[in-house]
């Protein structure tokens, strides 16, 4: 995969380097190599929605409509990670701002992973996230899409379910702007 084919790959690599942890050159170099390798593996591949996913909310037709959109954002939330739960608030805010600015519904879906999922857990998720979501009882979504690392657990796919952006923009304004611009560009091609 070359940067000519995906011109924003260089930008994503730069963003991921800027967000790397560690202040010494060894940590930065390791993060740069790791993130570049992961981005090259993920960007351009087709998103995998494993058979183990359970459609929960709202219903499978709405999830199907999201998947048929020219652009869709899919992000993972591990309910066993208390910090990860903040992704709901972030993406709700992102979606609301996007819809107000561009007067276009944002096709977005959460993939929920938890070691224990019952009625109380479903009600908890329903209070935090009013948009489409599906339950991933085995963590297959992150595994098959090679996004086990929390820093990569959000993806933007095009009409053909090809992953065009990957990364968690929660703490990265430049990546957030890239998600907005790229999503809008694909939605306007509908």
Task: Please list the pLDDT of the chain residue by residue as tens digits (190 residues).
Answer: 333 444 444 444 444 444 444 445 567 888 788 888 888 999 999 999 998 888 777 666 588 889 999 999 999 999 988 889 999 999 999 999 999 999 999 999 999 998 888 889 889 998 999 999 999 999 999 999 999 988 899 999 999 999 999 999 987 899 999 999 999 999 998 7
Q: Is the entire prediction scored with pTM above 0.75?
A: yes
Q: Which residues pair with 38 in a beta bridge?
A: none
DSSP letter (8 states) at residue 46: B
- What Cα–Cα distance (Å) separates residue 150 from each residue in 16, 68, 81, 164, 183? 12, 26, 10, 18, 21
Residue 4: predicted pLDDT: 40
The highest-level CATH class for domain 46-188 is: alpha beta
Q: Could you tell me the residue ranges of all domains in the chain?
A: 46-188
Cα dihedral 143→146→151→155 (10° resolution): -100
Residue 1: predicted pLDDT: 34
The answer to whether 171 and 88 have CB atoms below 8 angstroms apart is no
DSSP letter (8 states) at residue 48: -
Residue 175 tokens, joined: 């990546």
């Amino acid at each position: 995969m070359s940067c000519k084919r995906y011109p924003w790959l260089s930008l994503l690599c730069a963003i991921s380097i800027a967000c790397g942890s560690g202040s010494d050159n060894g940590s930065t170099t390791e993060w740069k190599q790791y993130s570049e390798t992961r981005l090259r593996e993920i960007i351009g591949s087709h998103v995998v929605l494993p058979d183990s996913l359970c459609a929960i909310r709202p219903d499978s037709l709405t999830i199907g409509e999201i998947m048929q959109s020219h652009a869709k954002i899919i992000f993972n939330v591990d309910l066993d990670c208390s910090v990860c739960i903040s992704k709901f608030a972030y993406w709700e805010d992102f979606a609301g701002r996007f819809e107000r600015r561009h007067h276009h519904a944002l096709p977005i879906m959460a993939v929920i992973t938890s070691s224990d999922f019952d009625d109380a857990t479903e009600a908890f998720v329903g209070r935090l996230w009013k948009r489409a979501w599906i339950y991933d009882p085995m963590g297959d979504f992150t595994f098959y899409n090679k996004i086990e690392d929390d820093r990569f657990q959000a993806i933007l796919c095009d009409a053909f379910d090809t992953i065009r952006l990957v990364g968690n923009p929660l703490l990265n304004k430049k990546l957030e702007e890239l998600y907005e611009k790229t999503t809008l560009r694909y939605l306007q091609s509908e």
